[in-house]
Amino acid sequence: RSYVAGARCRSAARLEGKVVVVTGANTGIGKETARDLARRGKVIIACRDTAKAEAAASEIRAETGNEQVVVKKLDLADTKSIREFAEKFLSEEKELHILINNAGVMLCPYSKTADGFEMHLGVNHLGHFLLTFLLLERLKQSAPARIVNVSSLAHHGGRIRFHDLHGEKSYNRGLAYCHSKLANVLFTRELARRLQGKSQSSAEFTANALHPGSVHSELVRHSFVMTWLWKIFSFFLKTPWEGAQTTIYCAVAEELDSVTGQYFSDCRPAYVSPRARDDETAKKLWSVSCELLGIQWD
What is the strand order of the sheet 69-73 is part of?
Answer: 69-73, 41-47, 15-23, 98-101, 145-150, 205-211, 263-265, 268-269
Whether residue 185 contacts residue 151, with contact meaning beta carbons closer than 8 Å, is answered with yes
CA atoms within 13 A on the CB side of 270: 23
Three-state secondary structure of 123-191 = HHHHHHHHHHHHHHHHHHHCCCEEEEEECCHHHHHCCCCHHHCCCCCCCCHHHHHHHHHHHHHHHHHHH
Look up residue 171 and give its amino acid: Y
Whether residue 209 contacts residue 264, with contact meaning beta carbons closer than 8 Å, is answered with yes
| Cβ count within 10 A of residue 109 | 9
238: DSSP letter? B
Helix, strand or coil for residue 205? strand
177 is known as an active-site residue: yes
Q: At what angle do helices 28-38 and 50-64 cross, to 10 degrees?
A: 40
Of 177, 249, 263, 271, catalytic: 177
Distance CA 112, CA 120 (A): 9
- Which residues 6+ apart lie within 8 Å of 268 measured at CB? 7
Beta bridge partners of 264: 210, 269
Residues that are catalytic: 177
